[in-house]
């Protein structure tokens, strides 16, 4: 496989047509080597428009999101170089690597220790892991990371039934949280912006489907 041709086609045929037009995001996706964050057995799928299983024997387990979805989430977050970011759901570490090139510092939470270890190794191998830039913590993310709050940007790299208020409260005023919210067959990528001490606005930016993040509560089932 011609890696660079595959990367170019991913950007031009999947990502750009999905309204990812920020030149900085497109340049980053051309630079950060996505294939280095995919399990070796799945390398040939690194640039396809599909979710990639991250652990052997768990095809329905943790998955890397499609390239176009990751790109659109990153664009929606609008991270600036002086900002402090939190990611929940590190997975293989690719999104943390992208955030590290945009933010001043990144903390990424992963509830599965095997994935946290994988992410650290991937980030270190690709020259990204640095305590001043990216820190990967093996812990659940539903309560965020109060000790490091407030954050300018929070990204949930997976779906949730609803965003816990405790996460929204860890944003600075003016800070953004991006999450994929809802249940199948309709989930919506939504930007929450803190507009005041106890006020947030929200904007739906696109629809998609994504695996659930572990540790987040589901909405109770409706019953008569």
pLDDT digits (tens, 9 = 90+) for 73-130: 999 999 999 999 999 999 999 999 999 999 999 999 999 999 999 999 999 999 887 6
Taking CA atoms, 105 is separated from 75, 153, 193, 197, in Å, by: 17, 11, 20, 24
In this structure, is residue 2 part of a structural domain? no
Q: How many CA atoms lie within 13 A of 15 on its CB side?
A: 30
Cβ neighbors of 192 (< 8 A, separation 6 or more) are 163, 168, 171, 176, 177, 178, 179, 200, 201, 202
Average the pLDDT over each of 9-23, 24-38, 124-138, 148-162 and give the range with the smallest value.
124-138
- Band of the pLDDT at 172, cuts 50, 70, 90? very high
Q: What is the pLDDT of residue 130?
A: 64
Q: What is the pLDDT of residue 56?
A: 87
pLDDT top residue among 62 and 220: 62
Cβ neighbors of 208 (< 8 A, separation 6 or more) are 69, 180, 187, 189
In this structure, is residue 6 part of a structural domain? no
SS3 120: helix
Of 34, 33, 39, nearest to 54 by C-alpha is 39
For residue 223, pLDDT beyond 70: no
In this structure, is residue 112 part of a structural domain? yes
In the predicted model, what is the mean pLDDT of the chain? 93
Q: What is the pLDDT of residue 62?
A: 92
For the segment 141-151, the average pLDDT, to the nearest whole number, is 95
Q: How many CA atoms lie within 13 A of 112 on its CB side?
A: 16
Written as six digits, the tokens of 221 are 């089932």
SS3 44: helix
Q: What is the pLDDT of residue 37?
A: 97
For residue 132, pLDDT beyond 60: no
For the segment 193-200, the average pLDDT, to the nearest whole number, is 96
Cβ neighbours around 136 below 10 Å, total: 25
Average the pLDDT over each of 32-41, 80-89, 108-117, 214-223 and give the range with the smallest value.
214-223
For residues 127 and 173, what is the distance between their CA atoms, to the nearest angstrom?
32
Cβ neighbors of 210 (< 8 A, separation 6 or more) are 51, 65, 69, 158, 159, 180, 187
Average the pLDDT over each of 55-64, 123-132, 154-163 and give the range with the smallest value.
123-132
CATH code: domain of residue 86 = 3.40.50.150
Of 133, 89, 86, nearest to 115 by C-alpha is 89
In this structure, is residue 20 part of a structural domain? no
Q: What is the pLDDT of residue 2?
A: 92
For residue 201, pLDDT beyond 60: yes
In this structure, is residue 9 part of a structural domain? no
Only one residue has tokens 């067959």, namely 185
Taking CA atoms, 95 is separated from 32, 88, 196, in Å, by: 10, 10, 28
Cβ neighbours around 179 below 10 Å, total: 29
User: Which residues form the domain of 166?
Assistant: 66-208
In this structure, is residue 177 part of a structural domain? yes
**Structural domains of the chain, count:** 1
In this structure, is residue 12 part of a structural domain? no
If you compute the radius of gyration of the chain from its CA atoms, what whole number of angstroms results? Answer: 16
Entry pTM:
0.94
For residue 199, pLDDT beyond 90: yes
- Band of the pLDDT at 222, cuts 50, 70, 90? low
In this structure, is residue 61 part of a structural domain? no
């Amino acid at each position: 496989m011609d890696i660079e041709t595959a990367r170019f086609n991913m950007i031009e045929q999947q990502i750009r047509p999905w309204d990812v037009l920020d030149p900085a995001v497109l340049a980053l996706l051309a630079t950060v080597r996505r294939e280095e964050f995919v399990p070796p057995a799945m390398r040939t799928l690194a640039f396809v428009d599909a979710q990639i299983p991250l652990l052997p024997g768990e095809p329905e387990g943790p998955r890397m999101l499609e390239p176009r979805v990751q790109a659109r989430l990153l664009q929606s977050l609008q991270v600036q170089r002086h900002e402090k970011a939190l990611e929940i759901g590190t997975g293989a570490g690719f999104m943390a690597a992208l955030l590290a090139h945009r933010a001043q510092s990144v903390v990424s939470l992963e509830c599965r220790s095997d994935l946290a270890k994988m992410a650290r190794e991937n980030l270190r191998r690709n020259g990204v892991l640095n305590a001043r830039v990216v820190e990967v913590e093996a812990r659940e993310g539903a309560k965020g990371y109060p000790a490091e709050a407030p954050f300018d940007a929070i990204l949930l790299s997976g779906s949730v039934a609803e965003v816990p208020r405790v996460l929204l409260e860890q944003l600075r005023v003016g800070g953004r949280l991006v999450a994929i919210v809802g249940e199948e067959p309709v989930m919506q990528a939504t930007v929450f912006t803190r507009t005041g001490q106890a006020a947030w606005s929200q904007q739906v930016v696109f629809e998609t489907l994504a695996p659930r993040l572990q540790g987040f509560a589901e909405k109770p089932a409706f019953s008569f």
